Amino acid sequence: MSTLIARTRRSFATHWYAWAMVLPVVVVLAVLVGYPLGRGVYLSFTDANEANIGRVIGDFEVPASYSFVGLDNYWHILSGQEGSFYPRLGWTLAWTASCVFLHYTIGLGLALMLNRRLKGRSVYRVLLILPWAVPAFVAAFAWKLMYNTNNGVLNALLGKVGVGPVDWLGDPFVQKLSVIAVNTWLGVPFMMVAILGGLQSIPRELYEAAEMDGASPWQRFRNVTLPGLRPVSSTIVLLGTIWTFNMFPIIFLVIGQAGGTESEILVTYAYRLAFQGVRDYAGSATYGIVILSLLLVFSVFYRGMLKRQEAAQ
Amino acid sequence: MTTPQAPDRAATPRRAGTTGASAAPRRPRGREERSRAASLALHSALIAATVIALFPIVFIVLVSIRGENGWTHPMEMEGFTLSNYTHVLGGTEFLTWMLNSVVIAGGTMLVGVLISASAGYALSRMRFPGHAPLMWTFLVCQMFPVAVLIVPLYNILGALGLLDSYGGLIITYCSVSVPFCAWMLKGYFDTIPTEIDESGRVDGLSPFGTFWRLVVPLARPGLAVTAFYTFLTAWGEVAFATQFMSSETKYTLAVGLQTFVGPHRAEWGLMTASSVLIMVPAALLFFFAQRHLVAGLTAGGTKG
């Protein structure tokens, strides 16, 4: 016991400076993230909704009357009783996978092209980055207008080449392709710039050495470029996956807030649970915790995979 | 600016090729020399990509200058007028929303960067118990779906009387931006040589003094980039703003624009004009910041 105290004291003496410097952030995180998170977890174990949450109306204080229901909410969602969880999870996964795949491959392709010596390189670069400067909500509205069935520019263009109008935002399947297109348009520039940075940090000597050894362009790409990009790639793919999984504005604003469509992802659905109709705070919180858990499991798995890959090299 | 990427490296001609040319009569074709057909393909692909990248932006600009009903005939190129702009600026709350967005995003930016700079420095330079969990926490904070925090924050802000106020939304956005700032700044501080700190310590500065007097001035570009990124995140946020700001004079741009294209009637003319007004300053800022943005962002991750 006394050794423990002594050790703590010694540790404090060495590290108090570092701790003091991270303290503000820790406090902010504890208050702004930790406490709401704890409360969110708690709400997910109750049947709280708009009617029983307790609030102040004028001078009257309505006490909270919701009760603890244990794992009921989780069981309700995960057993499939609620009905929409698994189809929505499937679509959310498909949405994330296709968006991140398209972001990464198109971004990589453009970065490889821009990394070559060519005329007008910096002009291409600036123009290709521009979508990144467009806030997501502006992009969502712009595309929604382009997708307009009767007056949209996309259908007008299709009409010119003799193709009939497409119901971009009506048909469930086309609607999904439409939102993926918007998000891809919006997300590629970030990946492109990040990969371009990664490409330029790969030492030239490696390519020259590979060329001496007679490596073909494809072999150079596989054995020099891809491994050299790994540090950048692993970060942007992880962040991109998390961001896309939780991508709120595109789905919410392009599809509209009426809801009830198949193209809603888990996040927008959970949001609607909390703020539409009888506000189901408990159900929404439960969805939130489930989403967070999925992402946590994914990150742990993903990081573990990267570590194993590094170890195998 | 000590970013790891030298942006124009690929543009410098390869030394090996030129010396090889003087030594050998027949120079082998270098990696970056292409046949005419390959060049053509490369340029066509890039032009196609550029057209796709620019199309929605150009389209919005064109629609915005064609009056109230210009959007119904997207292919026509006539009837140009600035009436949408005068209407947006004179007849709607657009400027109020713009101001609200600036105040809220600016507030978030200030608080976020101020609080997280010292933490980023400590994480970059010192190894202490709690180091790894804290980095991990920052990453996890990126994963919070809007649905986890929004209900508790809504209730808490309600209890504190902070709904529909600047402060409430700034506090909310700090929950997103502080971990992200700290993460990015840690990466940036990692690119500043530790010799600078050591010389500061030799001169008798405390760790905090070293940070404040030597490292912060050097890290100014990194701080600026982080600030800019935080600003943009808050600027474009939709979910929290939509629920937390209930009176029209407190709307941010992201909320206000939704009122133009409601379910019952859509005033696309106003919407497109507002979009252009929002995009222009953002695009200009972006033009200057983009190169550094990614350097800061990826540095945070790769060395985490």
Q: CATH number of the domain that A221 lies in?
A: 1.10.3720.10
Both A125 and A247 in a single domain? yes
pLDDT category at B190 given cuts 50, 70, 90 is confident
Q: Are the CB atoms for A182 and A139 separated by under 8 Å?
A: yes
Residue B6: the pLDDT is 39
Both A275 and A192 in a single domain? yes
Domain that holds residue A168: 84-279
pLDDT category at B295 given cuts 50, 70, 90 is low
Q: Is B160 on the interface with A (CB under 8 A)?
A: no
Please give the structure tokens belonging to residue A226: 């891809």
Region of residue B237 (phi > 0: left; psi between -120 and 50: alpha; otherwise: beta)? beta
Residue B293: the pLDDT is 67
Fold adopted by B86-299: MetI-like fold (1.10.3720)
pLDDT digits (tens, 9 = 90+) for A113-132: 999 888 888 889 889 988 98
Residue B12: the pLDDT is 40
Q: Is the pLDDT of residue B17 over 70?
A: no
Both A17 and A156 in a single domain? no
Query: Is residue A255, in this structure, part of any structural domain at all?
Result: yes
- pTM for the whole structure: 0.84
pLDDT digits (tens, 9 = 90+) for B59-110: 999 999 988 888 888 777 777 888 989 998 998 889 999 999 999 999 999 9
Q: Is B279 on the interface with A (CB under 8 A)?
A: yes
Residues of chain B with pLDDT > 90: what percent? 28
> Measured between CA atoms, how close is B159 to chain A, in angstroms?
8
Query: Is residue A98, in this structure, part of any structural domain at all?
Result: yes
Q: Give contacts of B152 with chain A, Cβ < 8 Å.
A: 35-37, 39-40, 43, 285
Length of chain A counted residue by residue: 313
pLDDT digits (tens, 9 = 90+) for A5-14: 888 787 777 7
Q: Is the pLDDT of residue B284 over 50?
A: yes
Distance CA A283, CA A271 (A): 10
Enter the DSSP assignment of B249.
G
Both A52 and A99 in a single domain? no
Count the helices and strands in chain B (H runs, E runs): 14, 0
Contact at CB, B152 and A253, closer than 8 angstroms: no
In order, the DSSP letters of B63-117 are HHTB-TTGGGSTT-----B-HHHHHHHHHSSHHHHHHHHHHHHHHHHHHHHHHHH
Both A92 and A17 in a single domain? no
Q: Write the ipTM.
A: 0.84
Q: Is the pLDDT of residue B37 over 60?
A: yes
Contact at CB, B59 and A146, closer than 8 angstroms: yes
**Which residue type does A24 have?**
P
Total number of domains in chain A: 2
pLDDT digits (tens, 9 = 90+) for A53-87: 766 666 666 677 788 888 888 998 998 887 789 99
Q: Is B109 on the interface with A (CB under 8 A)?
A: no
Residue B304: the pLDDT is 38
Q: Is the pLDDT of residue B32 over 80?
A: no
Which of B174, B207, B283 lies nearest to residue A32, judging by beta carbons? B174
pLDDT category at B303 given cuts 50, 70, 90 is very low
Distance CA B70, CA B81 (A): 10
Query: Is residue A294, in this structure, part of any structural domain at all?
Result: no
Length of chain B counted residue by residue: 304
Of A272, A140, A141, A148, the closest CA to residue B260 belongs to A141
Query: Is residue A248, in this structure, part of any structural domain at all?
Result: yes
Query: Is residue A301, in this structure, part of any structural domain at all?
Result: no
Q: Are the CB atoms for A211 and A202 separated by under 8 Å?
A: no
Query: Is residue A306, in this structure, part of any structural domain at all?
Result: no
Both A20 and A117 in a single domain? no
Both A34 and A121 in a single domain? no
Query: Which sign does the torsion angle of CA B229, B232, B236, B238 carry?
Result: positive
Q: Which residues contact A291 (CB under 8 A, 6 or more apart)?
A: A245, A246, A266, A267, A270, B145, B147, B148
Distance CA B236, CA A270 (A): 20
Residues 173-212 of B with CB under 8 A from A: 174-175, 178-179, 182, 206-208, 211
Contact at CB, A267 and B268, closer than 8 angstroms: no
Q: Is the pLDDT of residue B23 over 60?
A: no
> Measured between CA atoms, how close is B233 to chain A, in angstroms?
9
Contact at CB, B236 and A17, closer than 8 angstroms: no
> Measured between CA atoms, how close is A198 to chain B, in angstroms?
8
Of B178, B63, B25, B142, the closest CA to residue A156 belongs to B63
Q: Is A55 helix (H, G, I), strand (E, B) or coil?
A: strand
Both A52 and A155 in a single domain? no
Contact at CB, A33 and B141, closer than 8 angstroms: yes
Residue B28: the pLDDT is 52
Question: Which regions of chain A are under pLDDT 50?
Answer: none
Both A245 and A98 in a single domain? yes
Residues 63-92 of B with CB under 8 A from A: 63, 71-75
Both A141 and A238 in a single domain? yes
Q: Is B42 on the interface with A (CB under 8 A)?
A: yes
Distance CA B259, CA A183 (A): 22
> Measured between CA atoms, how close is B250 to chain A, in angstroms?
18
Q: Which residues contact A194 (CB under 8 A, 6 or more apart)?
A: A107, A232, A235, A236, B294, B297, B298
Both A161 and A230 in a single domain? yes
Residue B291: the pLDDT is 66
Query: What is the overall mean pLDDT for chain B?
Result: 82
Both A122 and A229 in a single domain? yes
Of B186, B187, B185, B158, the closest CA to residue B172 belongs to B158
Distance CA B84, CA B64 (A): 7
Which of B52, B115, B143 lies nearest to residue A242, judging by beta carbons? B143
